[in-house]
Amino acid sequence: MGRLFLIHLEGYKYSCKHCKTHLALFDDIISKSFHCRNGKAYLFDNAVNVTVGEKEERMMMTGMHIVVDIFCVGCGSIVGWRYEAAHEKSQKYKVGKYILERFKVLGPDGSSYSPTLDNPQMSGSDADDM
């Protein structure tokens, strides 16, 4: 394996909760009103230090989307997904954007997210966006 070159972000940033690799800037958040199986998820315009998995179709709450899972390059943990295509015209704005699951990243202040703080009766449903 070759040497790993990481992008270092300045300012308020989200990082991998396992290895603290920088993933996205607070200023790149488009929406905080997304949800996944582990609670909150944020839609970002850009993410760094991630690799992508295979394209797959997923049925989300807002319809069918083609997505790729994104993984931290530092430790290989899955941290969210990127939208590749949306079948619904109203959902096309998501294409090329990144979802980071709050449960899998550290916030700008270094804090971890606990899904039970949002909803103590979480059902553990499949990843959905809102």
pLDDT of residue 55: 97
pTM equals 0.84
pLDDT of residue 2: 66
pLDDT of residue 1: 56
pLDDT of residue 128: 46
pLDDT of residue 5: 85
- The SS3 assignment for 90 reads helix
| Residue 66, token pair as written in the block | 């083609």
CATH topology of domain 13-111: 2.170.150
- Asked if 3 contacts 94 with a C-beta cutoff of 8 angstroms, the reply is no
Low-confidence ranges of the chain (pLDDT < 50): 117-130
Q: Which residues contact 93 (CB under 8 A, 6 or more apart)?
A: none
pLDDT of residue 129: 47
| Residue 26, token pair as written in the block | 């607070």
| Residue 17, token pair as written in the block | 């909760």
